[in-house]
Amino acid sequence: MKTSHIAFAGNPNAGKTTLFNNVTGSRQHVGNYPGITVERKEGSLLFQGTQLNIIDLPGCYSLTAYTQEELVARQVLVEERPDLVVNVVDATKLERHLYLTVQFLELGIPVMLALNMMDDVRNKGMQIDLERLSQRLGCPAIGTVARSGEGKQQLLEQITRSTATTTEGWQPLHISYGPDIDPVLEEMETLISTSSFLTDRYPARWVAIKYLEGDEEIQQRGAELPEIAAQLESIVDTLREHCNKTLNSFPEAIIADYRYGFIHSLLRQGIVIHPAQVDRMDITDSMDRVLTHKILGPTLMMSLLYLMFQVTFTLGDYPLQLMEMLFSWLGDSVTALLPEGHLQSLIVSGVIDGIGGVLSFVPLIMIMFIMIAFLEDSGYMARVAYMMDKVFRTFGLHGSSVMPFIISGGIAGGCAVPGVMAARTLRSPREKLATILTAPFMPCGAKIPVFLLLIGAFFSEHRALIMFGITLTAWIMALLVARLLRSTLIRGESTPFVMELPPYRWPTLQGISIHTWERTWEYIKKAGTVILAISILLWVAMTFPGLTPAQQQFFDQQRLPLQSALEQAPAAPRAAQLNQQLRDIDQQQSMTALQHSAAGQLGTMLEPVSRLAGFNWRTNIALIGGVAAKEVIVSTLGTAYSLGEADSEETRTLVQRIRNDKDWNRASALSAILFVLLYAPCFVTIVVMARESSWQWACFALFFNTGIAFLLAILVYQIGIRL
Amino acid sequence: MSISLRQLDVQDKAIIISVTAPGEMGRRLRDMGLVPNTEIEIIGRAPLKDPVALRLRGFTLTLRNNEADHITVEKKEPSA
C-alpha cells in the first residue's frame, strides 16, 4: 500500500485545523515538539487505497525564524520532507495569505492550495478564478469550506493525484527582487552552490535569501563552514550599506516589498474579481461597534468574563463533588477491606487521595476549555486582548494575560491549574512566562477555606472587606511581580502587538470538542503520573518514622481501662463518654504521630524562623502539606490542633481552638492569610507550569513565590504586633 | 503630506509610504502586509486609545501606538 506524508500549513485563522479535523476526524494524535510547548498534531486516513499521514503544522504568517511556530514549521518541511504541503488559505484574504505560499514555493517543496472559506467569498460577491490562479502559481488549487466539508472530496483526490505525479527533488520558484538585490543574490547563489554550503538541506537561492534577511537559524547552521559564512556576511553587509544609503531601506524590507509586489500583480490579472459596489459594513464591523465600544466594550467584557467564571465554577461544582464523593467512598471501602496499617494508609491517603486530587479537577478543566475554545474560535478573545492590552502592557504583560489571571482566581474562587493552561493563548514567550509565574498568586478556591477559617477566628465582623482586600492584594501583587520579573529575569522588549482581529464566527461543535478533549486528556496523563508520585512522597513524609514503641505503648495503656469499661456494657450516657474519651486518645495519638513524622520534625525545626511571621510548628506542618494541595491546610491544622481535651464536655471547633491558642492573634492571622495567598503554588499547578514553561521555571516559582510570601508575612506580622 | 500612522483618526484612509521599524518588529509588520504602497483604513481604537485597529488587504489588524510610530503614511482626502 502506498503511504504519503502530507503537511497542512497556513496562517492562523485560515481554518487549517478545522480542515484537518474534518479530513482526519477523530483519528488524531497530539503530542509536543521536543523541548517546546508547540503542539504536534498528526492524523491519518485511508483514501482510495493510499494511506495519508497528515501533520498539522502550527499556524504561522511567514517562514522566518522569529517564533517557535515558524521554526517548527520550517524544521518539519526541511527535515521530514513531506511529499506535499497543503497550504490552507483564507480565500477572502488571498493577498496576505499568499505571502506564506510564495515562501513555500521559494523553498521548492511541492505545494497545493486549499482556498478555504469559499462560502464567505460567495457571500461577499467575490469571484476567484481557481484555474488561472493555479496556472499562475504553478500549483494545484482547490476551493473548500472546512466548516461544512465542502470540497473535501476534491481536496483528497487532488492530494492523491499530486503525490502520485511528484517529480524527484524540489523545484524552487524564482522571484525577481529588483535591480539592487538580484545581482547580489546571484553572486551569493553561485558561491553557495559551488561550495555546497548547506545545500544538503536547503536550495542555494533560499539560503542566500535567508542570509539577506538576517535569519538567525541559518546563520547558526552556516557557522559550521566559517569561511563561506564570512564571505556571505560581507556580501550582505555591503548590500545593506548600499540599500541604507541609496534607498533608505534594508534588504529584508525590499525582499518583502517585492514578494507582495509579485502577489499583487499576480492577483490583478482578473484572478480575483471584487463586486463593483462594496458593502462596507459587514456583520463583524457592526458587532465591533458595540463589543469594542469605549464604554460598552469593557462593560460587556467584564460581565461576560464574570458570567463565564460563574458558569464554570457553578456547573463544575456538581461533577467536582461527585468525584470527591466517589473517591471518598472508594477510600472508605478500601479502609474497610484492608487491615489497618501502613498498606491501608498508603493506598487510601497516598494513592486514592492523590489520584482523586488530580481527577477531581478534570470536570473544571473541561468546562473551562469549552469556554475558552468558544471565546477563541468565535474571535472574541482577540478583542479582549485588544481592549486590555494598554493596562497589561504597563506591567510587562500582554492583553491576553487577562484570561489566565481571571481563571486562576482573579475573581476569587478560581483555580490556577486551568489558569496556567489558559496562558497558551499567548503567542509572546516572555509575556506568557511572566503570566504563568504570577497567575498562581490569585485566590484560588482551595485557599478560600483557609481565609474563611482565619477570618472567622479573628475578623468575623469584617468578612466581606477582608475577602475583597485579599483579591485586590492578589491582583496588585501579580501585576507588580510581573513588572519586576519583566525588568529583571525575563527582561526584553515587549513582543509586538501586531495581531489579527479575525471576523466573528460561530465555533463548530467538532472543533470545540476535539480541542477540549485533547487538552483534558493531556492534563490527565501528565499531571496524573507526577502527582501520584508526589502524593505518595508526601504521605511518606507525614507518616514516617511514626511513633516510637514507647509512645505506642503509652497510648495503648491509656486506652486499656476505657476499653475494658466499655466491654462491661455500661449505661448509654456513660458509654458515650467512654467512646468520646477513646476518640480523644486516637486524636492525640495521630497528633503525636504527625509531630513525630518527617514533616512534623521539619515544622518544628522551622519554628524559630517561622516565628518571625508568627507561625508555630502546627501551622508549619499545615503549610508544608499545603504545597501538595491547598485543601490540605485546613485538614492538617485540624489534626495538629486536635489536642485532647478528655474532660471537656463540649467539643470545640477549630475556629475556637485557634482563637484561644496564645500563638494566634490578629497580626499572625493576617500574616498567615498573606502567606497562604502568595506562597508556593500547589503541586498540580507546579506540574502544569513545568509543562507550559520548563521545570526550572516551575521550581523557581516554588522558591521565589515562597520567598516573597514569607518576607511580606514577616513585614505584616512585625508591624501588626507593634501596633 | 506624510505623517505618522499614529496621527490618523478613526475612519481615515491612507497609503503607507515607509516602514522603518528594525528587527523583529519590522519583520512582523511586513509579514502582516504592512509594506509601502498598501492602502489602509483606521477602523477603531481600543477603549484606552491604544492599540489601534486598521484594515488592509481585506483583513483587520491591531497595532500599538509605539509600533504605529514606525510607519509613515500619506493621508487620503475623503472623496465626497
The 10s digit of each residue's pLDDT in A363-408 is: 877 887 788 788 878 888 889 889 989 999 999 999 889 888 988 8
Q: How far is A289 from chain B (nearest CA, A)?
A: 9
Confidence check: pLDDT of A35 > 70: no
* Digit-coded pLDDT (tens) for A450-467: 888 898 889 888 888 888
Q: Please count the structural domains in chain A.
A: 3
Is residue A526's pLDDT more than 70? no
Are A498 and B19 inside 8 Å of each other by CB?
no
The percentage of chain A sitting over the pLDDT mark of 90, rounded to a whole number, equals 40
DSSP 3-state assignment of B59? strand
For residue A35, being part of any structural domain is answered with yes
* pLDDT over threshold 60, residue A536: yes
The answer on pLDDT for A36 being more than 60 is no
Q: Which of A147 and A355 is assigned the larger pLDDT?
A: A147
* Interface mutation target, options B2, B24, B28, B61, chain A, most CBs of A under 10 Å: B28
Q: Does A81 share its domain with A104?
A: yes
Give the confidence band of A646 by pLDDT, cuts at 50, 70, 90.
very low
Q: Is residue A424 part of a domain?
A: no
Amino acid B80: pLDDT: 46
Q: For residues A135 and A723, which has the higher predicted lDDT (pLDDT)?
A: A135
**Chain B residues touching residue A285 (CB < 8 angstroms):** 43
pLDDT of A37 reads 57
Co-location of A152 and A10 in the same domain? yes
- Using CA atoms, how far apart are residues B24 and B22, in angstroms rounded to an integer? 7
B29 touches chain A (CB under 8 A): yes
Residues A17, A113, single domain; the answer is yes
Q: In CATH, what number is assigned to the domain containing residue A248?
A: 1.10.287
Q: How confident is the model at residue A642 (pLDDT cuts 50, 70, 90)?
A: low
The CATH number covering residue A72 comes to 3.40.50.300
Residue ending a domain, among A273, A297, A332, is A273
> Highest-confidence range of A109-123, A346-360, A639-653, by mean pLDDT?
A109-123
pLDDT tens across A322-355, in order? 887 888 888 888 888 888 778 887 887 777 777 7
> Distance (Å) from the C-alpha of residue B59 to the closest C-alpha of chain A?
7
Give the pLDDT mean for A519-537. 72
More confident call, B15 vs A33: B15
- The whole domain housing A572 covers 548-589
Candidates B33, B43, B47; nearest CB to A99: B33
Classify A679 as helix, strand or coil. coil
What is the DSSP pairing of strand B2-4 with strand B13-19? unpaired
Instruction: Enumerate residues 6+ apart whose C-beta is below 8 A from A215.
Output: A64, A65
| pLDDT (0 to 100) of residue A51 | 92
User: Of the candidates A273, A297, A316, which is a domain's last residue?
Assistant: A273
pLDDT of residue A26: 66
Measured CA to CA, the distance from residue A266 to residue A260 in angstroms comes to: 10
B76 CA: distance to closest CA in chain A (Å): 17
Same domain, A187 and A265: yes
Q: Are A35 and A150 members of one domain? A: yes
The residue ranking higher by pLDDT, B34 or A446, is B34
pLDDT at A31: 64
Phi, psi of A274 (to 5 degrees): -85, 150
**H or E stretch at A168:** none
What average pLDDT does range A72-101 have in this prediction? 93
Chain A: give the shortest CA distance to residue B21, in Å: 10
The C-alpha cell at A593 is 504521630
Domains of chain B: 2-76 (2.30.30.90)
Q: How far is CA A474 from CA A217, A408, A630, A678, in A?
A: 40, 11, 16, 8
Tell whether A386 is within 8 A of chain B (Cβ): yes
CB A440 within 8 A of CB A683: no
The reply to whether A57 and A99 lie within a common domain is yes
Let me know if residue A92 belongs to a domain. Answer: yes
Distance from CA of A288 to the nearest CA of B (A): 9
Domain assignment present for A420: no
The yes-or-no verdict on residue A135 having pLDDT over 50 is: yes
Q: Give the model's confidence band at A426: pLDDT under 50 very low, under 70 low, under 90 confident, else very high.
A: confident
Using CA coordinates, name the residue in chain B closest to A500: B61
A34 pLDDT higher than 60: no
- The answer to whether B65 faces chain A, any CB pair under 8 Å, is no
What mean pLDDT comes out for the span A232-240? Answer: 94
Instruction: Give mean pLDDT, residues A510-521.
Output: 81
Asked if B29's CB is within 8 angstroms of A248's CB, the reply is no
Please indicate, yes or no, whether residues A161 and A191 belong to a single structural domain of this protein. no
Instruction: Categorize the per-residue pLDDT at A422 as very low, low, confident or very high, splitting at 50, 70 and 90.
Output: confident
Whether A64 and A70 have beta carbons less than 8 Å apart is answered as yes
Q: Determine the pLDDT at residue A277.
A: 65
Q: Is B18 on the interface with A (CB under 8 A)?
A: yes
pLDDT mean across residues, chain A? 86
Q: Say which residues have a Cβ less than 8 Å from residue A540's Cβ, sequence separation at least 6.
A: A350, A598
Is A148 a member of any domain? Answer: yes
User: Does the pLDDT at position A716 exceed 60?
Assistant: yes
Residue A401, in any domain of the structure: no
> Is the pLDDT assigned to residue A574 strictly greater than 90?
no
Nearest CA in chain B to A255: B30
**Do A33 and A154 share a domain, yes or no?**
yes
Which chain A residue has its CA at the smallest distance from B25's CA? A496
- CB of A208 closer than 8 Å to CB of A188: yes
Q: Domain boundary at A538, A570, A589, which?
A: A589
pLDDT band at A119 (very low <50, low <70, confident <90, very high): very high
Strands of the sheet with B2-4, listed across from one edge: A499-500, B59-63, B52-56, B39-45, B13-19, B71-76, B2-4
CB contact under 8 A, B59 and A93: yes
Q: Are residues A196 and A125 in the same domain?
A: no
User: Is A157 touching B (CB cutoff 8 A)?
Assistant: no
pLDDT band at A532 (very low <50, low <70, confident <90, very high): confident
Integer Cα distance of A159 and A111 in angstroms: 10
- Is B10 in CB contact (< 8 Å) with chain A? no
- Residues A674, A651: Cα–Cα separation, whole Å: 29
Region A20-30 average pLDDT: 79
A93 interfacial to chain B (CB closer than 8 Å): yes
Q: Look at residue A280 and tell me whether its pLDDT is greater than 70.
A: no
Q: Kindly report the CA angle at B76 between B75 and B78, in degrees rounded to 5?
A: 130
Taking an 8 Å cut-off on Cβ atoms, the answer to whether A257 and B36 are in contact is: yes
Residues A52 and A160: their CA atoms lie apart, in Å, by: 9
Domain co-membership, A155 together with A253: no
Residues of chain A in contact with residue B31, where contact means CB-CB under 8 angstroms, are: 61-62, 64, 99, 256
Nearest CB neighbour to B62, from listed A257, A295, A497: A497
* A599 within 8 A of A537, measured Cβ to Cβ: no
Say what percent of chain A tops pLDDT 70.
94
Task: Give A441→chain B minimum CA distance, Å.
Answer: 26
Q: Which residue of B has its CA nearest to A494?
A: B25
Among all chains, which residue has been given the C-alpha cell 506540574? Answer: A687
Pick from A172-176, A648-652, B24-28, B62-66: least confident: A648-652
- Tell me, what's the pLDDT at A191? 93
**Is there a domain that residue A299 lies in?**
no
- The lowest-confidence range among A119-133, A413-427, A479-493, A550-564 is A413-427
Which residues on chain B are in Cβ contact (under 8 Å) with A250? 22, 26
pLDDT tens readout for residues A165-206: 766 678 899 999 999 999 999 999 999 999 988 888 899 999
Same domain, A124 and A53: yes
Q: Where are the alpha helices (DSSP H) in A492-630?
A: 509-543, 549-567, 572-596, 598-610, 617-626
Inter-chain residue contact B25 with A499, CB threshold 8 Å: no
Quick one: A13 and A158 in the same domain? Answer: yes
Mutate to test the interface with B, among A498, A499, A500, A501 (most CBs of B within 10 A): A498
User: pLDDT at position A88, please?
Assistant: 96
**Among A577, A583, A575, which residue's Cα sits nearest to residue A555?**
A583
Closest C-alpha to A57, from A116, A14, A106, A91:
A14
pLDDT at A188: 95
Instruction: Tell me if A688 is assigned to some domain.
Output: no
Q: Say whether pLDDT at A425 is over 80.
A: no
pLDDT digits (tens, 9 = 90+) for A688-712: 899 888 899 999 999 999 999 999 9
Cell triple for residue A114?
Answer: 486549499
Minimal-distance CA residue of chain B relative to A60: B31
